[in-house]
Amino acid sequence: MKRTQIERLPEEVPAEFVRFAAGAAIYDSSCSPEARVWLIDRDGGYYLKKNRAGELAREATMTDYFHKKGMGAEVLAYRTDAHDWLLTAAVAGEDCTHRTYRDDPRRLCDTIATRLRALHEVDFSDCPVTDRTGEFLRLAEENHRTGNYDSSHFPDSFGYASAEEAYAVLCAGKGELKRDVLIHGDYCLPNIMLDRWCFSGFIDLGNAGVGDRHIDLFWGAWTLWFNLKTDEYRDRFYDAYGRDKVDTELIRTVAAAEVFG
């Protein structure tokens, strides 16, 4: 996780959050200009996020839900005004891009696969977000309609030669996608926290909810390819998750939706 030490929080940060930073080292952990993230290094650590108004409401809700399930950070405050602000306690350990984990790729692959299977077996009957699959498909349809197509971030076997090819696959398979498990929605190494190889929680849960397991399976295979710079662990990932629940045709359908953003 990127961390650049800074002298203080920006002046725009509301006073109710600034008080948490008194006497603490502050780090900028932002990955994009739209969403700013600061680590406040005291009392076990806090993370403060800023985004456009309304952008963090879902993440606040689902982070709190995952925390109550023992799988996420504690939400300490959420505020919306001209911007959204979300303060959480830090989750113990490091995310799975840490060198400790990347240096043992087989163990890493097996760990995130079995952890994903465990997530997909959690009771979701009280989940506040009940149709992530529908939202996922509606976004793909809208982006197809507006010409938003980009396959550059996907390995060849997940990519498509054209938007038309991808859309044909999406249309043929989308009716098979279910709403039958609790998903993370962005199941990538930076969003999985381990503490000396023991699972400690998930972060960045804005896309979580009840959906189809193959959305997470797609991203789990993708993140191993992207972060380890090889596609050799994909089959191992599916095997460790459990082939009884893996439909590679539905993963192709998810891939077809994802190239539309």
Q: Which sequence positions are flagged as catalytic?
A: 186
**Structural element, H or E, at residue 137:** helix 132-145
Torsion (CA) 61, 67, 68, 74 in degrees, nearest 10: -80
Strand partners of residue 228: none
Strands annotated E in the chain: 4-6, 25-28, 36-41, 46-52, 75-80, 83-89, 94-95, 181-183, 192-195, 198-202, 209-211
User: How many whole angstroms separate alpha carbon 32 and alpha carbon 194?
Assistant: 23
Nearest-5° angle of CA 142, CA 146, CA 151?
85
How far is it, in rounded angstroms, from Cα 261 to Cα 257? Answer: 7
Residue 187: how many CA atoms within 13 Å on its side-chain side?
Answer: 30
Q: Tokens 């959305």 label which residue?
A: 215
3-state secondary structure of 49: strand
Distance between CA atoms of 102 and 100, rounded to whole angstroms?
A: 6
